[in-house]
Amino acid sequence: MGRATPRLDPRIETERLVLRPPDETDLDCIVAEINDFDVVRMLARVPFPYSRGDAEEFLAWSRSSREDLNLVVARDDRAIGCMALADINATREFGYWLGQPHWRQGLASEASRAFLAYCFAELGDVAIRAGAYVDNPTSLRVQEKLGFERAGLSHKHSLARRADVAHIDTVLTRAGFEEATQ
């Protein structure tokens, strides 16, 4: 039996946010929010500067992937970030970003909690990997609140930094998520 694949077109609503598949109307907002070195330096696979062409490639990839789940995080009908669950080397990997004006408001935790609840409901009892560069303690705190546990230290390449950067690897089980979010 194959691995469960999440439905790739959900609409997830929280108190302040809507998570939904990206579309053409989001491209300018995505570029405006992510074309910020302080945002992309914390991400592995996002270039800097980030152009509209990059956003168009992201949209095309999001629509064509059958294994990955990519949703925009929208507030007041405007894309302010993204959540993703990628199938990388047979491992589910969670990632997210929000534009800098939306930091320190609890939005990353709110969106991540809803996104991961959806993923566990669709995927069943699997482990989800994530992590953060060592100089991103805020993202690690968000992950810890959701039940992620530290699993090791590695180095991951950052396109924006053009370098390998020390990375704290984390893992989340369904049981860990349920315990942390009840």
The pTM (predicted TM-score) of the whole model is: 0.93
CATH class of 12-181: alpha beta
Could you state, in order of their start, the residue ranges of all structural domains in the chain?
A: 12-181
Lowest-pLDDT range of 14-18, 33-37, 119-123, 173-177: 119-123
Nearest partner of 181 among 150, 146, 149, judged by Cα: 146
Residue with tokens 């108190």: 15
Q: For residue range 67-126, list pLDDT tens digits in order.
A: 889 999 999 999 999 999 988 667 899 999 999 999 999 999 999 999 999 999 987 768
Is 92 within 8 Å of 128 (Cβ atoms)? yes
Q: Is the pLDDT of residue 3 over 60?
A: no
Please, which pLDDT band fits residue 1 given cuts at 50, 70 and 90? Answer: very low
pLDDT for the residue 2:
46
